[in-house]
Amino acid sequence: MAERARFAAALATVLALAGSIPARADGAALKAIWGPGIEDGVSRFPIYRDLGMRIYQDRLPWAQIAQQRPRHPTDPRDPAYHWPAEVTQAVAQARRYHMKVALQVIGAPSWANGGKAWNWAPQSAYDYARFITAAARRYPSVRLWMIWGEPSRTPNFNPLIKAPPFAKLDAEQQVAPHVYARLVDASYGSLKHLNRANLVIGGMTYTTGDISTQEWIENLRLPNGRPPRMDMYGHNPFSFREPNFANPPSADQMVDFSDLKRLAKLVDRNLGRAGHRHMELFISEWTVPTNVDYEFSFYVDPLVQARWITAGLRLARGWPRLYDVGWIHLYDEPPISSGGLLYATGAKKPGYFAWKHG
């Protein structure tokens, strides 16, 4: 990009700034990383430990795990369930390395959604809730549960009718957030009944969307008009600018890292409830690409990636509303992604050290 030279900073300066980030007083698990936990038989957890990761994130694709309807849907031992060995191994590795685990339950099998593709919501929210109960019993050490992932965009969640930014959603456009709200609330009831220590992460939006984050939040309503119950609001604040809470609001209702305080106010206003007015934000995915890839329409110099990481972690350390900051790619995976902390060769980027010391 043309502005890369203008933004470039010396690595020594980046690392010095990263080292100046104060420790978070409340001791919350701040740094998170998406798996896989084991690649080609080799554990990635020593690298995660070196980076200071406190939460390991992975997916449970319901459609793959339960291709047939189980007779006993809340029992993880039902023969219809085929739990992914890689997740089971990663959860065990996370315990060994004293990391929390956050699992995202995404997709629905055809028997649950009327014969449609995996990205269509189940016809009954309770089918989803029963599966997540089985998952929680399968992985009793897991306490963090993400409900779907980026459901505000059509590749991930249907039925969904697109809406322009700032629109008042019509009845058809309201269907997706209303259906999703029922998934969140049903899961909350099931997971809390199983163990009050389970934490439910709802929303799961990202910077933009086929329905904007603001429109999504404002329309997360149950049939009784109330918002769904959840413990934290999940968001992926992919950013085209250096994180800074003093930055002006993003255009077109986008919500990037700099907009997180505005997001918190939006969540409070629309999703807060008695005794739980100011829920924390769970940042599941964040990355900054350092070369052209298929995921993003921009990239920055590796030194700029490091500077943005330093800035984002400094903001997170100083603001207790953020439960964590999650990074989505450990390695570059060209041509799909160039947002790793390491190049595909395994060489460490400046961003690796910025994250480690942040």
pLDDT tens-place string over residues 212-271:
999 999 999 999 999 999 999 999 999 999 999 999 999 999 999 999 999 999 999 999
Domain extent at residue 246: 4-357
Residues 330-348: tens digit of each pLDDT: 999 999 999 999 999 999 9
pLDDT value of position 176: 98
Higher pLDDT pick, 167 / 30: 167
Q: How many domains are contained in the chain?
A: 1
Strands 55-61 and 100-106: parallel
Q: What is the mean pLDDT of residues 180-196?
A: 98
Q: Residue 88 pLDDT > 50, yes or no?
A: yes
For the chain, the average pLDDT equals 92
pTM here is 0.92
Q: What is the mean pLDDT of residues 4-16?
A: 38
Residues 104-158: tens digit of each pLDDT: 999 999 999 999 999 999 999 999 999 999 999 999 999 999 999 999 999 999 9
CATH of the domain at 174: 3.20.20.80
